[in-house]
Amino acid sequence: LFAIFLSAQFSRLSLSAEFPSQKKITMLLKIFLVAALATLVRSDCLSENDVSGIFNKNSKLNLYMGQQNFTVALLDAINKATPNENVFFSPYSTFHALLLAYFGAKNQTEAALADALKLHWAETKFDVMQAYRIEVHERARRSQNSSVEFTSADKLFFAPKVEVKDCMKDLFHDELETLDFAKDPEAARSTINHWVEDVTKGNIKDILVEGSLSAQTQVVLANAAYFKGAWASKFDPELTKKEIFYSSAEKQSFVDMMSKKGYFNHALNEHLGAHVLEIPYEGDGIEISNIILLPPFTPNGLDTVLEKLNPESLQRALDDGTSREVDLKLPKFSFEKKYELVPILERMGVGDLFQSTSNLAGFSETQKIQLDDAVHQAKIEVDEEGSTAAAATVLFSFRSSRPLDPLQFHCNHPFVFLIYDHRARAVLFAGIYRGPDN
């Protein structure tokens, strides 16, 4: 089984005074979605006593607080698996692909995924499905009229021989597709690759290499994500100059360093031991921004930040930020990363998901479904105009940056960056930049 991740367009709905408040409309939408979902879920489809009949208004918030914990754990795991390298991935995409697996998991496989995805807040799978559906519909609504693009798409590709439970067909009507792997596995691979390429607007190509699928492939779980955002206040290309980037005390490189003076939310967070800066993307209000965590240029500065980073410390740093004039310097960069996720996810505690003992009987009661591999590919480009990012996952010290003068925020040594959705409280993409040659 493989999972692929892409992203979708993101926006905020503009409402005039004559319409009900956006908050009321959102609440009505949530209640309607839960009621509609309840009519589709049979009492034994996802788990016993699926439908509680109670709308949990905190379900989506709980889901994405868990996603933040998952993000931090995945960032730490990838960083340890690829030390001294640049890091970039979409935790949002990976989280969604694993959610699809969770909805079909049973027994020990379900329990391990619930633990890895931080779903302990949910009394039943229906609570998780409720939050998932609300997020999908809210993001589609927000994408209708925005200058910022964020697209996320989920797919379940099943072989015709797999008798998918009728209730799962109802629940995943939009996500489910039949693909004949046995007849022509290479054609099936091409279909999935083209779907990923289409959702990511050509940024992620050939996620599945030749031979990835076979006639015995039964299912591919896929999520793909695409993001494109222009800075609310763009950098002047005329000010971009070659400057030194200090990857370590022994290694320096020249980079195209963008420069700008302007007002940004900034905090010097003592708990994280880092300067924190928000660079907003264009749009009505700060809904999505690039958050940079800049540690001191010391041998363990970056590791210390990663050790202390969690949803609470991140939110505290954002809350502590104040708007002030900042002399900002940020490297212009682009790079692409591809990860074999199975060993990384197993170290994070997904249990036997990719082993022969896994139980995915929630999808089908007549066929044994097994996942064999998981691949994640992500690409980021940051320039004077803004950021473009795409990702797909397939499941089958040193020199100081003037720490005593927070008005100067010079990213001339390794830093962490997050593309963060403030409204959903979701980390869409995350990375570590260590220099142009890493």
Is residue 223 domain-shared with residue 258, that is, in the same domain?
A: no
Q: What is the pLDDT of residues 217-254, one digit of tens each?
A: 988 888 888 888 888 889 999 999 999 999 988 899 99
Q: Which of 142, 137, 147, 138 is nearest to 14 (CA)?
A: 142
Is residue 317 domain-shared with residue 340, that is, in the same domain?
A: no
Is residue 100 domain-shared with residue 196, that is, in the same domain?
A: yes
> Residue 177: which domain range?
58-229+335-381
Average pLDDT over every residue of 409-438: 90
Is residue 276 domain-shared with residue 359, that is, in the same domain?
A: no
Residue-level pLDDT at 108 = 96
First to last CA, the chain: 31
Domain annotation covers residue 247: yes
Average pLDDT over every residue of 197-204: 89
The reply to whether the predicted model has a pTM over 0.85 is: no
Residue-level pLDDT at 38 = 46
Domain annotation covers residue 241: yes
Domain annotation covers residue 23: no
Is residue 242 domain-shared with residue 217, that is, in the same domain?
A: no
Q: What is the pLDDT of residues 48-87, one digit of tens each?
A: 655 555 666 778 888 888 899 999 999 999 999 988 899 9
Is residue 329 domain-shared with residue 339, that is, in the same domain?
A: no
Is residue 175 domain-shared with residue 209, that is, in the same domain?
A: yes
Q: Which two tokens stand for residue 260?
A: 């700008």
CA dist 142 and 428 (Å) reads 15
Is residue 66 domain-shared with residue 171, that is, in the same domain?
A: yes
Domain annotation covers residue 10: no
| CATH assignment at residue 271 | 2.30.39.10
Domain annotation covers residue 87: yes
Is residue 270 domain-shared with residue 130, that is, in the same domain?
A: no
Domain annotation covers residue 413: yes
Is residue 294 domain-shared with residue 419, that is, in the same domain?
A: yes
The total of structural domains in the chain comes to 2
Is residue 170 domain-shared with residue 257, that is, in the same domain?
A: no
Cβ 69 vs Cβ 121: under 8 Å: no
| CATH assignment at residue 63 | 3.30.497.10
Is residue 317 domain-shared with residue 183, that is, in the same domain?
A: no
Domain annotation covers residue 20: no
Give 164 or 147, the one with higher predicted confidence. Answer: 164
